[in-house]
Chains A and B, each alone.
Chain A
Amino acid sequence: MKMEHNMSRIHMVSEPSIIYFLQVSWEKDLGSGFDITLTDGQSAWNGTVTASEISREADDMAMERDKYVDELRKALVLRTEPANVYKFDFSKENCHFSYEKSLKDVSFILGSLNLQKVSSPAEVIRELMSYCLDCMADQLAKNRHLQRENEMLQRDWSDVQKRLEECVTAKENLEADLYKRFVLVLNEKKGKIRSLHKLLKQAQQPEKDTQDERESVDDIQSQKKREAAYDESTDEESENLPVPSKAVPGSSSVHMDHLTFWNDKDQFQTLPLAVLR
């Protein structure tokens, strides 16, 4: 079974100036018992906390075992809480090691045990250092791997972005080009309609001239429009037919520029002829 290790730097309440190194090692789960190794760089102490001791401590504190193990993990392994939440104490004289959690007003001892002084501390320290160096090598390798992966992702990203940009630009150009051609052809047709419209007007002009009253050009035009567009229901009362013209953005509304016709929704509409000015 692979052992898991964790090393951390702790201070003891009774001698805050000295740095201790604490190694906790366990198999699979902290709740199934763990070994503790403590060193100040010169001497080393170790001890074991068994699964039954963990159960007993949890019972003594009237805590659920899982919750208690979770607290142990926070105190001995994770060390993510602010430093002053979990406190440690150790006395070199009687080799008693204790760890406690301090809340606002109360603090309670999570656990305590008597450690054994190790006869060959150099070896323990060597092992700890090897472990740390192994850890560092692992991290470096992982770091390099991630960095390489990251660079690759970034390269792919910028590549795809460039391609996407090309696609978007191509779409914009194609669209602009198609519309440009469309406008040219459309305006040719409108020019033709315009000239036919003029011919029609010229053809009807002599007819008009025979009438006695002379109407203004504008009136003739509106008359034409009415005849062309409203065969069945010409309202003779109203002078000008109300023309529901939509405001078309960006185009002028010069009267002569408009043609009247039925659009496909059968609505009477005026449209400017010139699309491109």
Chain B
Amino acid sequence: LSNINKISNVFEDVEFCVMSGTDSHSKSSLENCIAELGGYIVQNPGPDTYCIIAGTENVRVKNIISSNKHDVVKAEWLLECFKAKEHVPWQPCFMIHMCPSTKEHFAREYDCYGDSYFADTDLLQLKEVFSRIKNVKENSPKEMSPVITDLEYRYSWDNSPLSMFRQCVIYVDMYAIINDLTTQIQGTRLSIKALELRFYGAQVISCLEEGVSHVIVGEDHSRVEEFKAFRRTLKKKYKILQDLWVTDSLKEGNLQEENCYLI
């Protein structure tokens, strides 16, 4: 590297290995940054290499990661250092990979998602922490529903209008034949009610079964007798309510007295 205009000694005697550049900063421009801050550059990491800088995660980076000997840091960190003209401390958000000793150091300060144990977080930081959580198990909303219900209950969020119907497991009478999904009545107001219920936290199910807490019926009462007959076979009895209960509850912002809407 020639023609380097050294502007600072921030990285004096610190050895770096730049693996790849980013879309906006090439490998050589990153290397220039290091040199301008007084650092050394090597093409292959050795025992004295402070860290690996990686803009993109290519095969070489992956190999370095699997060898687990070096810290791999995002190019953003280097750019921050360059901007600030000082050695910016590593934060979890900069780390692509940490070798065991660094990991241990971080584990004292941060949890495995990069959220500090001691420092307060804020909207931006938490968002960043959340966005870095990868490989989240693909839970369906249905599986998450009881977890959310528990959390809302514990932290007293359960009076939020958006979770008004969280405790409800609802069958909406929008199938001409009960439980037959192919007989959905098209263009009925009830299908909108079902969506509204879901939006406000309800678990709307398409199969009438044990555990249903409410059945919502519209103007058509032709299946009410069947609902009542089926209810006799259940241990936990559901309530059969007019769809007005949903409308009124939403209008008032809280669940309305169910007994006024019984059928």
Interface residues of A (CB under 8 A from B): 154, 157-158, 161, 164-165, 167-168, 171-173, 175-185, 188-189, 191-192, 248-251, 271, 275-276
B69-77, B111-119, B212-220: which lies at the interface: B111-119
Contact A171 B199 (CB under 8 A): yes
Whether, in the assembled complex, B124 has its beta carbon less than 8 Å from a beta carbon of chain A, the answer is: no
Cα–Cα, bound, A249→B146 (Å):
9
Contact B136 A168 (CB under 8 A): no
Q: Which residues of B contact A188 (CB under 8 A)?
A: 111-113, 115
Cα–Cα, bound, A180→B134 (Å):
12
Whether, in the assembled complex, B133 has its beta carbon less than 8 Å from a beta carbon of chain A, the answer is: yes
A180, A188, A275, A276: most-surrounded residue (chain B CB, <10 A): A180
Whether, in the assembled complex, B148 has its beta carbon less than 8 Å from a beta carbon of chain A, the answer is: yes
Contact A165 B133 (CB under 8 A): no
Contact A168 B149 (CB under 8 A): no
Taking A164-B195, A176-B144 as given, write out 12 further A-B residue pairs in contact, using a Cβ cutoff of 8 Å, ordered by the A residue number.
Answer: A158-B186, A161-B195, A167-B199, A176-B141, A176-B143, A181-B133, A185-B129, A189-B111, A192-B111, A248-B154, A250-B149, A271-B154
Q: Which residues of B contact A158 (CB under 8 A)?
A: 186-187
Quick one: which of B130, B153, B187 contacts A181, CB cutoff 8 A? B130
Smallest CB–CB gap between A53 and chain B, Å?
Answer: 49
Chain A to chain B contacts (Cβ below 8 Å), 23 pairs: A158-B187, A161-B192, A164-B195, A165-B195, A168-B195, A168-B199, A172-B198, A175-B144, A179-B144, A181-B113, A181-B133, A182-B151, A183-B147, A184-B136, A185-B113, A188-B115, A189-B111, A192-B111, A248-B153, A249-B146, A249-B150, A250-B146, A250-B150
Q: Which residues of B contact A189 (CB under 8 A)?
A: 111, 115, 117
Contact B191 A161 (CB under 8 A): yes
Smallest CB–CB gap between B206 and chain A, Å?
Answer: 13
Smallest CB–CB gap between B204 and chain A, Å?
Answer: 9
In the complex, the chain B residue whose C-beta lies closest to that of A179 is B148
Q: Which residues of chain B from 147 to 169 have any CB-CB distance to chain A below 8 Å in the complex?
A: 147-151, 153-154
Whether, in the assembled complex, B139 has its beta carbon less than 8 Å from a beta carbon of chain A, the answer is: yes
Smallest CB–CB gap between B144 and chain A, Å?
Answer: 4
Smallest CB–CB gap between B194 and chain A, Å?
Answer: 9
Q: Which residues of A contact B154 (CB under 8 A)?
A: 248, 271
Contact A275 B136 (CB under 8 A): no
Q: Which residues of A contact B151 (CB under 8 A)?
A: 179, 182-183, 275
Whether, in the assembled complex, B140 has its beta carbon less than 8 Å from a beta carbon of chain A, the answer is: yes
Smallest CB–CB gap between A275 and chain B, Å?
Answer: 7
Q: Which residues of A contact B198 (CB under 8 A)?
A: 168, 172
Cα–Cα, bound, A276→B199 (Å):
24
Cα–Cα, bound, A102→B143 (Å):
71
Interface size on B, residues (CB 8 A): 31
Q: Which residues of A contact B192 (CB under 8 A)?
A: 161, 164
Q: Which residues of A contact B153 (CB under 8 A)?
A: 248-249
Q: Which residues of A contact B147 (CB under 8 A)?
A: 179-180, 183, 250, 275-276
Cα–Cα, bound, A138→B144 (Å):
58
Q: Which residues of B contact A183 (CB under 8 A)?
A: 147, 151
Contact A177 B136 (CB under 8 A): yes
Q: Which residues of B contact A165 (CB under 8 A)?
A: 195
Smallest CB–CB gap between A260 and chain B, Å?
Answer: 15
In the complex, the chain B residue whose C-beta lies closest to that of A276 is B147
Q: Which residues of B contact A157 (CB under 8 A)?
A: 187
Q: Which residues of B contact A179 (CB under 8 A)?
A: 144, 147-148, 151
Smallest CB–CB gap between A186 and chain B, Å?
Answer: 9
0/1 interface trace, chain B 78-117, chain A, CB 8 Å (1 if under): 0000000000000000000000000000000001110101
Contact A275 B144 (CB under 8 A): no
Smallest CB–CB gap between B107 and chain A, Å?
Answer: 10
Contact B195 A251 (CB under 8 A): no
Smallest CB–CB gap between B130 and chain A, Å?
Answer: 4
Q: Which residues of B contact A176 (CB under 8 A)?
A: 139-141, 143-144, 148
| 3 tightest A-B CB contacts, nearest first | A188-B111, A176-B144, A172-B141
Q: Which residues of B contact A276 (CB under 8 A)?
A: 147
Cα–Cα, bound, A181→B114 (Å):
12
Contact B187 A154 (CB under 8 A): yes
Cα–Cα, bound, A179→B115 (Å):
16
Contact A180 B113 (CB under 8 A): no
Cα–Cα, bound, A157→B113 (Å):
44
Given contacts A172-B198, A192-B117, A248-B154, are A180 and B149 in contact (CB under 8 A)? no
